[in-house]
Amino acid sequence: MVLYNFKTIQVVPTAKDFIDIVLSKTQRQTPTVVHNGWAINRIRQFYMRKVKFTQSNWHEKLSKILDDFPKVDDMHPFFGDLLNVLYDRDHYKLALGQLHTARNLIDKVSQDYVRLMKYGDSLYRCKELKRAALGRMCTIMKKQGPSLAYLEQVRQHMSRLPAIEPNTRTLLVCGYPNVGKSSFMNKVTRADVDVQPYAFTTKSLFVGHMDYRYLRWQVIDTPGILDRPLEERNTIEMQSITALAHLRAAVLYVMDISEQCGHTLAEQAALFHSIKPLFANKPLLIVANKTDVTQVDSLSAEDKAILDEMVSEAAKMSGVAPTDAKLLMMSTLTEEGVMAVKQVACDRLLASRVEAKLQGKRIQDVAYRMHVATPAPRDRQARPPVIPPSVAAARARAMQAAEQAKKKTEKDMQEENGGAGVYSADMRKRYALQDPSWRYDIMPEIIEGHNVLDFVDPDIEARLEALDREEEAMAAAAELEGDDMDEDDLTPEQRELLKKIRARKTIVVAAHRRKKSAANNAPIKPRRVDADRTSTTQHMKASLARVGVDASAAIERARARSVSRVGRKRLRSASAAAPADMDVDGSQAPPQKRIHSSKSRSMSRGRALSTAKPIEGQGLKNEAQHNKAIKMHDKMQKRMGKAARKGEADRHIPDLKPKHLFSGKRGIGKTDRR
């Protein structure tokens, strides 16, 4: 049988939220720009895409809701009747049926309007057809508001229902309210059901699990039942009735013999006889609770007769022999008899399930395929199974030898020597050393088979102290020798030089620390931030001259590079020694006017055009046409450059949020209009 996991059902939105979700998705995931100048087929496809996309979203979301909610006719009868008790089966099926009809109507609306849109003759008509289609779809969903709200309430309640397996091994606890059903469940399972000293604390079914004979069992705690007609029972009581009617379980009918629950034994017996048809074909046990308050022996003869009658009736309905029928007694407060009740109930249920399997058809099919050979007796002499004395003696000797050969573990030694906290395990006795006598040495570190402790100098501490004193004396002497020189013995020139050296050292150390902190990744200082104009060739020449380096070659190279930047011809190495303003014959040349860089570039561009030659195969007959083509290309490229494009095929959008895609769209909080 399929088990439904009601917790996986997705949230059902309200009608208004449903409309907002679908229309917002249509707005976000379909194109939003259409122009009147497009071809009519393109306009039709634009609006048909929106209608079809919206219809597919409605269809997908409604189908998800219909698939998540279980079908009443396909469920186990227990879940079907429980659904009928809690939510009204007809209302539930009607709500799902209305959503199914709404899905079909939306599909039909989409189909009709797409057919009409194929004949739209203008952008305005196609747009109005799209608006009409989406409006009719939203109107259909607005009418489903009550059904969606009802299904959301059902989903929330179903997600809180316990996961009950109808066909597994189950103990079902029932009876009047406040007789100790929840207390019994808390004792035998790991569940934590609320227990209070008043009636109807348990208002729904609770499930707990336990282990018995290496099998997993589920225990169901049912709400209390009152003795009244079925028509007058409320939803809480009907949950218990539904569980008793459909679950294959061992039923524990719990009774309060102390009558502290507010009902006499006669009333509890009357309830037992009124719901007796629900116990058919199930193991049934009568459990007397609260024996710590009232003992069964102290009851009156009438009450004992009532209990005996119920026990015999339960044995008759369960198919148990009258000799095996007995009243089970327990106290959930002192836990006396609780485990005995659990054991008897589980054994009864296991025997009942085995008997049901033996009476089924499957066991007969298996039995027909099996043949058990039974030898015919040759005489009337009894031959019981017997083990020869020699074999028994050999087995005894083998068991004794195995017991002796069994390795004693640390846990066994712990139990023999006082238990945990008293016995301390010896971790050294299993050391694998060359000589077992080394295991308990003070220093068990071994080098070449010898104990390290044998080679330790006994005067090591005195020698270390002497060495420390010697190091302290040497440090004191070095400190005296390394004292700063006396500045009084220096001349004024030496003092000035010492001051410059110290200042220079401070600058070098600071620069080194700055570079180290930036991991030598400091940027080059631009000229606009060099306010002191320290980055000049004169400053470089002076600084290098102070350290004895000739910087004339580097300065000439820097000047030649700066001259080449403004468009002048780079000085050749052959004429580098001659002054820049001298002619070849040694006469002074007139000063040349400095050419601006942009003008230089334009002039060089013009020279390039004048010297350009057409390539064969381009269709240009001479240099004039070739230069004209270059100028036309540059002129056309200006238009692309203004749009920051590489060419005609560049479709890159540099603006990540272009106006035509984002203007006029709703913000996060504006959902009241569109």
Class of residue 163 by CB neighbours under 10 A (exposed 0-12, middle 13-18, buried 19+): exposed
**508 Cα distance to chain centroid:** 56
Higher pLDDT, 3 or 214: 214
Question: How many angstroms separate the first and last alpha carbons of the chain?
Answer: 49
**Residue 667 is which amino acid?**
G
Q: In degrees rounded to 5, what are phi and psi of residue 290? A: 65, 45
Of 410 and 171, the structure prediction assigns the larger pLDDT to: 171
pLDDT of 601 higher than 60: no
The total of other beta-carbon atoms located within 10 Å of residue 12's CB is: 24
Asked if 558 contacts 537 with a C-beta cutoff of 8 angstroms, the reply is yes
Alpha helices in 482-551 (DSSP H): 492-517, 537-546
With cut-offs at 50, 70 and 90, classify the pLDDT of residue 94.
Answer: very high
Helix 145-159 × helix 89-117 angle, to 10°: 130
pLDDT of res. 219: 93
DSSP 8-state symbol, 616: T
Of the two residues 338 and 564, the one the predictor is more confident about is 338
Contact 544, 560 (CB under 8 A): no
- Express as a percent the part of the chain with pLDDT over 70: 84
Fold of 6-157: Four Helix Bundle (Hemerythrin (Met), subunit A) (1.20.120)
CA distance 512 to 518: 10
Task: Please give the pLDDT value at position 651.
Answer: 78
pLDDT for residue 27 is more than 90: yes
Which CATH code of 3.40.50.300, 3.40.50.880, 3.40.190.10, 3.40.50.10860 fits the domain covering 162-361? 3.40.50.300
The encoded tokens of residue 83 equal: 């659904």
What is the average per-residue pLDDT within 307-336?
Answer: 86
What letter represents residue 565's amino acid?
Answer: R
CA distances from 160 to 13, 164, 206, 258, 477 (A): 19, 12, 11, 35, 86
Write phi, then psi, for 254 (nearest 5 degrees). Answer: -90, 135
Note the pLDDT tens digit of each residue in 523-555. 666 666 666 677 778 887 887 787 777 888 888
Report for 332-336, 559-563, 620-624: range of highest mean pLDDT: 332-336
- The ranges of the chain annotated as CATH 3.40.50.300 are 162-361
Q: How many CA atoms are closer than 13 Å to the CA of 202, on its beta-carbon side? A: 30
**DSSP code of residue 224:** P
Residue 39: per-residue pLDDT:
93
Question: Across the chain, how many H-helices and E-strands are there?
Answer: 21, 8
Q: Are 220 and 82 a contacting pair, CB within 8 Å?
A: no
- pLDDT of 107-125, one tens digit each? 999 999 999 999 999 999 9
Structure-token pair, residue 456: 């330790």
- In this prediction, residues 637-641 reach a mean pLDDT of 83
pLDDT at 22: 95
568 or 23: whose pLDDT is higher? 23
pLDDT of residue 23: 94
- Provide the pLDDT for residue 368: 77
Instruction: Give the pLDDT score at 35.
Output: 92
Largest separation between any pair of C-alpha atoms in the chain:
154
pLDDT per residue over 443-500, tens digit each? 556 777 776 667 777 787 888 889 999 988 888 887 776 555 567 778 888 888 888 8
* Bridge partners of residue 329, in order along the sequence: 288
Mean pLDDT score, 194-213? 87
What confidence score (pLDDT) does residue 441 get? 75
Give the pLDDT of residue 579.
44
Q: Are 340 and 330 contacting, i.e. CB atoms less than 8 angstroms apart?
A: yes
Its pTM stands at: 0.52
Question: Which amino acid belongs to residue 28?
Answer: R
Question: Is the pLDDT assigned to residue 595 strictly greater than 50?
Answer: no
Q: What is the pLDDT of residue 582?
A: 41
Token pair of 164, please?
């009950």
Read off the tokens for 554: 């580097």
How far is residue 498 from each of residues 335, 483, 494, 507, 545, measured CA to CA in Å? 97, 16, 6, 14, 18
C-alpha 225/C-alpha 410 separation (Å) is 57
**Can you say whether the dihedral through the CA atoms of 426, 428, 432, 437 is positive or negative?**
negative
Burial 65-88 (b: 16+ CB within 10 A, else e): beeebbebeebbebbbbbbbbbbe
Which residue spans of the chain are classified as CATH 1.20.120.1190? 6-157
